[in-house]
A and B are shown apart, each in its own frame.
Chain A
Amino acid sequence: MTADVGAQMRKGVVEYCVLGLLAREPMYGWQLADALAAPGLIASIGTLYPLLGRLRDNGWVSTFDQPSDSGPVRRYYRLTDAGTAQLAHFRRQWKPFAQTVSSLVGEE
């Protein structure tokens, strides 16, 4: 149980981290994988696509294809209006929630 605390926290917030990234600009799969894997939010690209599929099923992201300078057509993900609203909802609740948890668990 204690060994998986980090994994459980990541599962709870990683979808909203994707929404936050896409709020800045549309991104393609590998960009998202890089941005999320570096801080350890996803383990690999195998975790990313199921996650993107859920976000798309919820109507929070949509895709479009765009040719890249290096050749291949890339599939980009962007935020929908529903995704923007969902992200705003999360932002409003995240800060007080994180502050409450911090005040309860303290610091080392």
Chain B
Amino acid sequence: MMTDTSDYLARLDVALRDVPHGIAAEIRAGVAEELSSLDPDAAERRIAQLGDPAVIAREAMDAGGLVPPGPWVPPVVPVRSPATTTRGFAIAAALVLSFGGFLVPFAGWVVGAVMVGLSSMWRTWEKVVAICAPLVLFGIVMLFSLAAFTTTAVEVHEASGTGSAPDIANPLVPDLFGFHSAIILLVVLAIPASGLWLLWRMRGRTAAS
């Protein structure tokens, strides 16, 4: 039976020749240590349990190629940029959208629109409504104003071709108490209203991260 042990260790030595020396020596010493502590019958069963030396060597090569473990950290899900996911950023974005244009005409509103676009606190359709509604309203008002002006001008020419134009207020010149002033005021109010609407929409929502 000692022959079986010696034979097995000899086969193991051959199989381990390509395994890094330190690991091969450890495996060899561990197996020899175990087999030498057993009586011949138990050693024979242990050899059968150990299996083919070539398999042991292959597994040692595979295991030796693993990256050494560093401090264990559970996998984390990548998160979006935290600055744009906070409630504070969203509130600031809505306020800049509302009033930034009054502090720095147009550019302030553009900055607010960009901040609203970056924030993750609102759904896409909410952002689109808040940013586009004042623009669309402004566009509609301008179209109506131009149409009214054009119609008035045509009527003057078709009436007689001469004479002076009727005493109608120029739509491009604000009339403090007139229809056009009311429309322009509505557009101006729509801008802060859009930001305040965004603040109302985000009530009860929590930051994404």
A→B interface (CB under 8 Å): 11, 15-16, 28-30, 33, 43-54, 57-58, 68, 70-75, 86, 89-90, 93, 96-97
Contact = CB atoms under 8 A, between A and B. Distances in A.
A72 B63 contact: no
A96 B72 CA distance: 14
A30 B38 CA distance: 12
B68 A58 contact: yes
9 contacts: A16-B72, A30-B33, A46-B57, A46-B59, A49-B30, A50-B23, A70-B38, A71-B37, A93-B73
A15 B27 contact: no
A72 B50 CA distance: 19
Chain B interface SS verdict (over half):
helix
A58 B59 contact: no
Interface residues of B, number: 30
A33 B70 CA distance: 22
Interface string B22-60: 110011011101101110000000000011000111111
B50 A45 contact: yes
B23 A29 contact: no
B66 A11 contact: yes
A93 B74 contact: yes
Contacts of A57: 68
Contact of B60 (A30, A49, A93): A49
Contacts of B50: 44-45
Given A29-B34, A71-B37, A53 B72 contact: no
